[in-house]
């Protein structure tokens, strides 16, 4: 692998999805293919190393230190997964080391165990979870001599390659001293001790493939037979040392690249948060300056999808605080608008709730007015209906919760239900209905969407409440107020029930939702500005997706070039 070539393009690929993790995996892949370091014709070939390994294995068997290994498939050749240099050899894993399992004594007898450092070092897979080192000396607890004798655990020598075979599969470490394990390991005791580092490198490379061979779904485990039969590319011993050294060098490079990326992201996060926080400045001139700075630097501030999501929330937050568009003194104030709505509502019945001064969540312009959602409604809230589902294609459609979870109505999310319902039923959705989720996770409970489809096309379920608002309002503004950060916080705070039982809101909570109501002319201006800014966010997201795709293709081209020299024009095309 050519690290200089990679570094030349690093600034362009560093933000590719999982770039560093993929680079680490690729380093291991190159290592076991013989493409990480050059071959040296003066190296003793792997065929000679195999002779020494066979002699050592025979000596151990004769001395009774090793049971004669079983022959997995005496008549077949080792599967060659890919091409390797001519000085290498394909062998089974158990040709380079003994595969050793582990065991656990009875936990009921506390004498089977000892504190770390006071007995025999003993590992479980949990001891390697989150462990970043290569060498390990002990686990969370030791075995006593009695515990070792009472179990199938084996005390293995220093240099043993420890490989977890269940829960989960694929953790790798090297024993820095004699050690035992529980039954969650299939460890490799090398016949030639100098091979430990290369074997560990190869096992890290092959771990995903070994995991894929494991039977089971909820509990996966690979047997000793599977591990023993893993096809293993064996290099000359001298080349193993060069490979291990180069892997160390490149993994250290990956560490530095990852640290630099994290520092860069942390700086960008702080800058983004600071810029968006400054948009809350009470002084109009300061706000205009900060808003101009934020808009001019959006590409730098929004390099990730989550940052664009944060920007969208900030836009909604500013919209409902009267900071997105200037106020016009010629606009009819919201107080007058409410008088006209009150006259419209006088003949209608339904829940309503006014907002008192003490419960106003934040300051709004003088021409605005705090109202409860119920004060704006001419019908509802009304819970839906949930008949039995059916497979009949001619049965009525009822929307599901997912139809409104995004905050935008999705007409593809429905099920057919068994019900005889008249055309004039209130359970049919009508254009302009504002739909609120009555129950969901705390993150989504109360989320709202506008129905804009034809009449009598969909019923709405019991877990959704429908509200119809006065036609004197801009429905789009009320909707964006209902999905803004203050409204989301209101619903999350006022929902009842534990997370495990689906938090819910009731009709009283819904009609009491505080709505910061601007003059209707300003409502229209705010909606237009939000649309323009959300379209900008859409373009930023599309640009990010395109940039991610370009980085991904460039990364793939660099990887392909490392595996097989690529035509320079292919790399240029990816760029």
Please tell me the predicted confidence (pLDDT) of residue 437: 94
The pTM of the full predicted model, rounded to 2 decimals, is: 0.64
Q: What is d(CA 335, CA 359) in angstroms, rounded to the nearest whole number?
A: 18
Cα dihedral sign, 498-502-507-511: positive
Cα dihedral sign, 359-365-366-368: negative
CA–CA–CA angle 173, 159, 69 (5° rounding): 100
**Cross-strand pairs, 417:** 389
184-208 per-position pLDDT tens digit: 999 999 998 789 999 999 999 999 9
Do residues 229 and 71 make contact, with C-beta atoms less than 8 angstroms apart?
no
Q: Which of 485, 484, 482 is nearest to 469 (CA)?
A: 482
Do residues 468 and 459 make contact, with C-beta atoms less than 8 angstroms apart?
no
DSSP β-ladder status, 397-399 and 414-416: antiparallel
Out of 42-46, 52-56, 251-255, 307-311, which region has the weakest mean confidence (pLDDT)? 307-311
DSSP β-ladder status, 414-416 and 120-123: unpaired
DSSP β-ladder status, 169-175 and 135-136: parallel
427-484 per-position pLDDT tens digit: 999 999 999 999 998 889 999 999 998 999 999 999 999 999 999 999 999 999 999 9
Distances (CA, A) of 31 to 38, 123, 202, 205, 362: 11, 28, 8, 9, 60
**Cross-strand pairs, 98:** 189
Is the pLDDT score of 307 beyond 80? no
Residue 22's pLDDT band (boundaries 50, 70, 90)?
confident
SS3 content of the chain, % helix, strand, coil (to 5): 45, 15, 40
Looking at the chain, the domain(s) classified CATH 3.90.220.20 span: 93-234, 334-518
Residue 267's pLDDT band (boundaries 50, 70, 90)?
confident
The CATH architecture one would assign to domain 93-234 is: Alpha-Beta Complex (3.90)
Out of 84-98, 381-395, 531-545, which region has the weakest mean confidence (pLDDT)? 531-545
The distance from CA 497 to its chain's CA centroid, rounded to whole angstroms, is 27
For residue 86, give the DSSP letter: T
Burial class of residue 19 in the structure, from the number of CB atoms within 10 Å of its CB (0-12 exposed, 13-18 middle, 19+ buried): buried
Is the pLDDT score of 554 beyond 80? no
Q: What is d(CA 445, CA 513) in angstroms, rounded to the nearest whole number?
A: 13
Please tell me the predicted confidence (pLDDT) of residue 66: 67
Q: Which of 181, 143, 183 is nearest to 166 (CA)?
A: 183
Residue that the structure tokens 């009449």 belong to: 455
36-72 per-residue burial string, b: 16 or more CB within 10 A, e: under 16: bbebeeebebbeebbeebeeebeebeeeeebeeeeee
Give the relative orientation of helices 475-482 and 305-320 as an angle to the nearest 10 degrees: 120
Do residues 353 and 375 make contact, with C-beta atoms less than 8 angstroms apart?
yes
Q: What is d(CA 319, CA 523) in angstroms, rounded to the nearest whole number?
A: 9
Burial class of residue 565 in the structure, from the number of CB atoms within 10 Å of its CB (0-12 exposed, 13-18 middle, 19+ buried): exposed
For residue 502, give the DSSP letter: -
Residue that the structure tokens 């004197």 belong to: 472
**CATH no. of 334-518:** 3.90.220.20
The residue ranking higher by pLDDT, 232 or 18, is 232
Do residues 312 and 499 make contact, with C-beta atoms less than 8 angstroms apart?
no
Q: Which of 202, 207, 160, 166 is nearest to 180 (CA)?
A: 160
Q: Which of 305, 288, 286 is nearest to 542 (CA)?
A: 305
Please tell me the predicted confidence (pLDDT) of residue 504: 92
308-338 per-position pLDDT tens digit: 887 888 888 888 888 888 888 999 899 888 8
Average pLDDT taken over every residue of the chain = 84
Give the rounded percent of residues in the chain with a pLDDT score beyond 90.
49
Residue 571's pLDDT band (boundaries 50, 70, 90)?
very low
């Amino acid at each position: 692998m050519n690290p200089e070539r990679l570094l030349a393009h690093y600034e362009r690929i560093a933000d590719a999805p999982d770039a560093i993790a993929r680079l680490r995996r690729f380093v291991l892949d190159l290592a076991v293919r013989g493409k990480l370091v050059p071959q040296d014709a003066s190296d003793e070939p792997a065929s000679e190393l195999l002779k020494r390994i066979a002699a050592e294995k025979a000596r151990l068997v004769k001395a009774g230190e090793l049971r004669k290994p079983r022959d997995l498939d005496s008549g077949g050749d080792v599967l060659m997964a890919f091409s390797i240099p001519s000085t290498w050899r394909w062998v089974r894993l158990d040709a380079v080391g003994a595969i050793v399992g582990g065991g656990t004594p009875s936990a009921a007898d506390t004498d089977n165990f000892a504190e770390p450092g006071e007995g025999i070092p003993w590992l479980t897979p949990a001891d390697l979870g989150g462990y970043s080192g290569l060498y390990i000396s002990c686990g969370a607890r030791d075995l006593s001599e009695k515990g070792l004798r009472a179990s199938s655990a084996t005390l293995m020598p220093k240099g043993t390659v420890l490989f977890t075979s269940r829960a989960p599969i694929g953790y790798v470490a090297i024993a820095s001293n004699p050690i035992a394990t529980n039954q969650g390991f299939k460890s490799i005791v090398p016949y030639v001790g100098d091979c430990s580092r290369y074997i560990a490198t190869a096992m890290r490379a092959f771990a995903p493939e070994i995991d894929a061979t494991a039977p089971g779904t909820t509990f996966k485990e690979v047997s000793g037979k599977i591990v023993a039969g893993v096809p293993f590319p064996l290099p000359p011993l001298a080349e193993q040392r060069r490979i291990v050294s180069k892997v160390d060098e490149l993994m250290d490079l990956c560490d530095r690249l990852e640290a630099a990326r994290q520092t860069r992201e942390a700086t960008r996060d702080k800058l983004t948060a600071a810029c968006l926080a400054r948009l809350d400045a009470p002084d109009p001139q300061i706000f205009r300056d900060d808003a101009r700075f934020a808009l001019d630097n959006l590409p730098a501030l929004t390099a990730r999808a989550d940052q664009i999501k944060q920007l969208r929330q900030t836009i909604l937050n500013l919209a409902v605080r009267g900071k997105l568009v200037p106020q016009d003194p010629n606009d009819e104030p919201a107080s007058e608008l409410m008088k006209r709505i009150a006259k419209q509502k006088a003949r209608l019945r339904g829940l309503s709730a006014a907002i008192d001064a003490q419960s106003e969540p934040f300051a709004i312009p003088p021409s605005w007015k705090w109202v409860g959602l119920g004060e704006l409604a001419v019908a509802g809230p009304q819970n839906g209906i949930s008949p039995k589902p059916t497979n009949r294609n001619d049965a009525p459609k009822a929307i599901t919760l997912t139809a409104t979870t995004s905050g935008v109505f999705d007409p593809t999310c429905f099920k057919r239900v068994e019900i005889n319902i008249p055309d004039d039923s209130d359970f049919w959705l009508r254009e302009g209905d504002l739909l609120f989720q009555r129950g969901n996770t705390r993150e989504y409970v109360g989320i709202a969407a506008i129905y804009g489809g034809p009449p009598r096309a969909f019923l709405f379920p019991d877990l959704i409440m429908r509200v119809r608002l006065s036609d004197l309002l801009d429905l789009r503004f009320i909707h964006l107020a209902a999905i803004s950060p203050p409204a989301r916080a209101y619903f999350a705070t006022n929902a009842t029930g534990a997370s495990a039982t689906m938090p819910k809101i009731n009709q009283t909570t819904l009609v009491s939702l505080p709505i910061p109501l601007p003059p209707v002319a300003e409502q229209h201006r705010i909606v237009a500005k939000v649309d323009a800014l959300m379209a900008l966010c859409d373009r930023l997201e599309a640009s990010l997706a395109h940039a991610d795709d370009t980085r991904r293709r460039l990364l793939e081209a660099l990887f392909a070039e490392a595996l097989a020299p690529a035509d320079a024009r292919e790399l240029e095309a990816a760029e």
